[in-house]
Amino acid sequence: LIVTGAGSGMGRELTLQLIRKGVYIAACDINATTLAETASLVSAPELIKTYELDVANPEQVAALPRTVKQDFGRLHGVINNAGIIQPFVKFAELSPKTIDRVMNINFYGVVNLTRAVLQELDPDPDTHIVNISSMGGFLPVPGQAMYGASKAAVKLFTEALYGEVRGTKIHVSVVFPGAVAT
């Protein structure tokens, strides 16, 4: 199972909890140092492999699932958890670079990795694609316009994908966490 954003916060906790349950994890993060820290905390080191990954880099994302499948011998899913918030400023004050960064990580990272994973999945009853949205994708927060838009896009993308794979062995879920101290 691929987990993005595994170097800290929810991604780290997901990784640690899943390994405690005996799940093989391909832990991914842009920060090699925090990713190594996550790996040092696992209860069963034989169940984890780490991959430095920038989810905003389409070439890295496209190559990852095949590499994971080669390393583990199978691929049964992904938790698209990596994400960032924007600076707490009004939309008009955001630079185009910041807007692109939020959308590239929070939305296009999910879309591109999901596409790449779908090409390599070993469909069985345990195959799952989990996309982390946010309560910010439901309710507008002043000063977080682009973050909210990116997470709303994840919600709608995931719901459409769910409809497209219904009747197959691939399960699709979207998760809406509230504020988390990460």
Q: Give the C-alpha separation, 34 to 45, whole Å.
A: 16
pLDDT at 156 over 80: yes
Q: Give the C-alpha separation, 72 to 85, whole Å.
A: 32
Q: Give the C-alpha separation, 11 to 37, whole Å.
A: 12
pLDDT tens, residue by residue, 50-104: 999 999 999 999 999 999 999 999 999 999 999 999 999 999 999 999 999 999 9
147 a catalytic residue: yes
Which amino acid, 151?
K
pLDDT tens, residue by residue, 136-148: 888 889 999 999 9
Residues 6+ apart with CB under 8 A from 68: 2, 26, 49, 51, 75, 120
Contact 61, 51 (CB under 8 A): no
- Grouping H, G, I as helix, E, B as strand and the rest as coil, residue 174 is strand
Band of pLDDT at residue 7, cut at 50, 70 and 90: very high
Residue 83 pLDDT: 95
pLDDT tens, residue by residue, 10-26: 999 999 999 999 999 99
**Which among 24, 51, 147, 162 is annotated as catalytic?**
147
Contact 29, 82 (CB under 8 A): yes
**Backbone φ and ψ of 171, nearest 5°:** -100, 145
Contact 152, 134 (CB under 8 A): no
